[in-house]
Chain A
């Protein structure tokens, strides 16, 4: 067991104390002196021409400060998209304008038409009802395939169609893939839907714009996973405020799961209005508002085909996916169905030929972007479902079929442009089998049967690419930003350390696990290290927390900066010890001269750096503060094997999760307690997707799941205890910590396990015609499938 506070220790979280006492500081807990409140009047139709917006009556109402409309934002930039896809013909994607407030048209239910700023929220809301918006309702486009048909109404009049891009990957391989299918001994085909979800962090989004007229400085307080990214996007592309005049602060953030990565119109509005009114402006989303303004996730419709030879080796894979973009392109939307999805289609298998086609489509729905896993759950789900189906069709054991086709040698270059540096898929599958007592399944099945229940077991594996990622690679792939991370390590005179990082925790426990890394490197107690994050005034730059990147990229930046600190401290120690720098060793916070008993403590060196009375001034500057930017040379590739056992009530179709096991390989682990928690949460969201959650629009584009009354969130009694294990560790080869990241694995690995288990239960009960049920596997859907 590692020392408490060091790498590998299950150190209790220091941030918990304030959260448990109710003294956390979330954005909505902040109030600026004299602040006004904004209420957004949002479209209640999915598609319409905005003929006029008369705000005169509203502006005259009590307490109203000013009413803004799209006209106030003419000449102001639109909400930008951070990723440009080049399609299979070499053309760049179609990219529509995304005004802060609607101009000309409304394109989804929830699209903001006007913003009322008033002395109180209720006054703003009262006045919003007095706004007369004359909207000529237009036919809505909701279904993706219908949206691509000739004559479909267009979401954006100035684009040629509703097709954002038609991406082929790898286009050069297409003919070879087609040929492999023509020569296949067996082909398994599956059509499936990856259901549209809403991230639903428990803290709704909040934005507070503030403006210091004397200095001309703007500040935005916002619920963000990446305040520096918001500063860059909003400052450079929307409002034209240079970074040095704009500060973005994200205090405690109450969950995000991707939905708080993106730059949203409300942030730009509050910053803009605060300056225009010279008064702080606050917006707090209601949950109902969140449902129609937070970016949604998933929403893919896919046909996947797997070709096998006569020995059941996978010979080729071919997919066609329609991916919903919604009405506008959210920050990272175009990258999700392409580079975060197509590149993962090899999964854990050595399939030699793969072709992925993705058609991204505009519809009159809320924009869709990354949600926990982002593209990788979609890839894993298709692949692990089609492999399961193939095993059934061939009459072979699904685990054996997987094992037969595993990649076993690393590094492994996939046919979809990525190189897995390490992994051991056999080891995680072995571990999983050890965890789930497969031999006892028949007895459990018999016991379920006695109670009139069906029982099934589903197993799958997954791979993901995270630690996102190398700037040079993502640049080639269309990213309009770098994806490094920065860290500044500031050592104070008495030896305490403040680490300023561009990563930003929204529940991951960075304040605890990051100090474990820095403290271990120096050999001091973790309590001597404090993390500052979530404020552009601190860390020099940051790309934020998503894509399971914080420890792999942010942590590595901290390692690099700490290495610089140690190097400089050794110089100072050498001077103090009158020894050669090359002979200085650092252990347990003591600098010593190799082979002697001469040493000097960490605190003596740090004091010397700030009180340089006896100091090598000609060799090093006083002070002890270093910054590093870390940009990896590859993604990391966590992997694992998951299993789920379910019972199905044949009379009602209700599925209950009887057990769930996860064997993950995250490489090295900094805080196993936190890692377990991340996996638990991911599994719950994956089970939620598989059994409960669906964001549903009707054909007119009305949101049918606009609140928790209709959007089924997983609750405590929907879920079991989970067995999780991460003892299989193949360290990442290219980052200094050997870590891979763990934040998304649970959500990526779990949906196929659940669906495989339910199909297994029905098949075992003789429902052999049920080869697939689309998620969520609600009681009514399962019952319908059983009675089709």
Chain B
């Protein structure tokens, strides 16, 4: 790693101040960032840790809305259970140790194309709340490892409307255990949203055809015959574009079945 300063503020205001300087970068759970730093692929002058800030922690449920602090770790979300599909997803990220460190805000801000959380946020129609504004999930994910966040902008919480029915099914990439394909399906009074992670060169995406089919018939059979274009899929040593396109259909069906 290159040398950097590490600050560990205990209030959001201090974190914001610390992030004002050039080449400062927020550090949340660090489960992706630290390996990146080890490879010297990033060269921040300062890292500002967000995990000691109490106001970024915690999970609250008000009515049908679940609000999760940006620096809440995956293990806490997994244990919460008020949005079962989301808790189940959090319980499948990485491994138990990673889940004790990695945070929802960090995961969303990183927008790894194979990460689990972006699919939940997008399918649930969550709102990503930052220290500056609120961003609808449809506007948040702008491409592989890219989001609508500005430099130094901090995800303070994520607000999930809890759907009537929902499920996440993940098919593991055998080495990294990230999603080779992961599908989050959420059914609300307004219809069905389907978000796919792991598969696309563009990162997480909504599968419009599946959403339309499921909105009129929420059953695995509704997916039969639907396909995503394989051209847009990731092709690598773990799966060809065709294989990933095929898996999107299979895993979506399974997610619908799991959502019951």
Contact = CB atoms under 8 A, between A and B. Distances in A.
Interface string B238-260: 11100100110010000000000
A711 interface: yes
A708 B243 CA distance: 22
A784 B240 CA distance: 9
Interface hub of A288, A780, A783 (most chain B Cβ within 10 A):
A780
B240 A694 contact: no
Interface hub of A286, A694, A784 (most chain B Cβ within 10 A):
A784
A709 B175 contact: yes
Interface string A723-761: 000000000000000000000000000000000000000
Contact of B237 (A122, A286, A710): A710
Contacts of B208: none
B254 to A, nearest CB: 9
Interface residues of A, number: 26
A784 B175 contact: no
A781 to B, nearest CB: 9
Interface in B153-210: 171, 174-176, 180
A129 B43 CA distance: 13
Interface residues of B, number: 20
Given A652-B171, A780-B238, A780-B240, A710 B176 contact: yes
Interface in A629-653: 651-653
Contacts of A184: none
Contact of B174 (A126, A129, A778, A783): A778
Contacts of A653: 243
A784 B243 contact: yes
Given A704-B237, A710-B237, A780 B243 contact: yes
Contacts of A286: 38
Interface in A756-788: 778-780, 783-784
A709 B171 contact: no
B237 A705 contact: yes
Contacts of B250: 651-652
A709 B176 contact: yes
B216 interface: no
Contacts of B175: 692, 705, 708-713
Nearest to A651: B250
B243 A696 contact: no
A778 B238 contact: yes
B62 to A, nearest CB: 37
Interface in A604-654: 651-654
B44 to A, nearest CB: 15
A647 to B, nearest CB: 16
Nearest to A718: B174
B1 interface: yes
Interface in B199-246: 236-240, 243, 246
Contacts of B237: 694, 696, 704-705, 710
Contacts of A784: 240, 243
A779 B242 CA distance: 13
Contacts of A713: 175
Contacts of A778: 174, 238-239
Given A704-B237, A780-B238, A122 B1 contact: yes
Interface string A663-699: 0000000000000000000000000000010101000
Contacts of A704: 236-237
A705 B174 CA distance: 12
Given A652-B171, A710-B237, A783-B246, A288 B176 contact: no
Contacts of B247: 652
B3 A692 contact: no
Contacts of B40: 125, 129
Interface hub of A126, A696, A712, A784 (most chain B Cβ within 10 A):
A712
A784 B247 CA distance: 12
Nearest to A692: B174
A507 B84 CA distance: 43
B16 to A, nearest CB: 30
Contacts of A783: 243, 246
Interface in B1-19: 1-3
A696 B243 CA distance: 19
Nearest to A653: B243
B239 A780 contact: yes
Nearest to A691: B174
A651 to B, nearest CB: 5
Contacts of B180: 779
A286 B176 CA distance: 18
Contacts of A711: 175
A625 to B, nearest CB: 50
A121 B3 CA distance: 12
A427 B225 CA distance: 53
Nearest to B235: A780
A654 B176 CA distance: 16
A659 B3 CA distance: 50
Interface string A105-126: 0000000000000000010011
Nearest to B242: A784
A737 to B, nearest CB: 41
Nearest to A126: B2
Nearest to B251: A652
A652 to B, nearest CB: 6
Contacts of B1: 122
A711 B175 CA distance: 6
Interface in A701-725: 704-705, 708-713
A779 B239 contact: yes
Contacts of B174: 692, 712, 778-779
B170 to A, nearest CB: 12
Contacts of A780: 238-240, 243
A708 B174 CA distance: 10
Interface in B32-54: 38-40
A342 B10 CA distance: 67
A470 B3 CA distance: 55
A695 to B, nearest CB: 10
A251 B165 CA distance: 57
A704 B235 CA distance: 13
A784 B171 CA distance: 17
A719 to B, nearest CB: 13
B47 to A, nearest CB: 16
Nearest to A708: B175
Nearest to A129: B40
Interface in A118-150: 122, 125-126, 129
A334 B143 CA distance: 49
Contacts of A125: 40
A718 to B, nearest CB: 8
Interface hub of B176, B237, B238 (most chain A Cβ within 10 A):
B237
Contacts of B246: 783
Shortest Cβ-Cβ A-B pairs, 5 listed:
A712-B175, A712-B174, A780-B239, A709-B176, A780-B243
Given A705-B175, A708-B176, A784-B240, 10 more contacts: A125-B40, A651-B250, A652-B247, A692-B174, A705-B237, A709-B175, A713-B175, A779-B243, A780-B240, A784-B243
Interface of B: 1-3, 38-40, 171, 174-176, 180, 236-240, 243, 246-247, 250
30 contacts: A122-B1, A122-B3, A125-B40, A126-B2, A651-B250, A652-B171, A652-B247, A652-B250, A653-B243, A654-B171, A692-B174, A692-B175, A694-B237, A705-B175, A705-B237, A708-B176, A709-B175, A710-B176, A710-B237, A712-B174, A712-B175, A713-B175, A778-B174, A778-B238, A779-B239, A780-B238, A780-B239, A780-B243, A783-B243, A784-B243
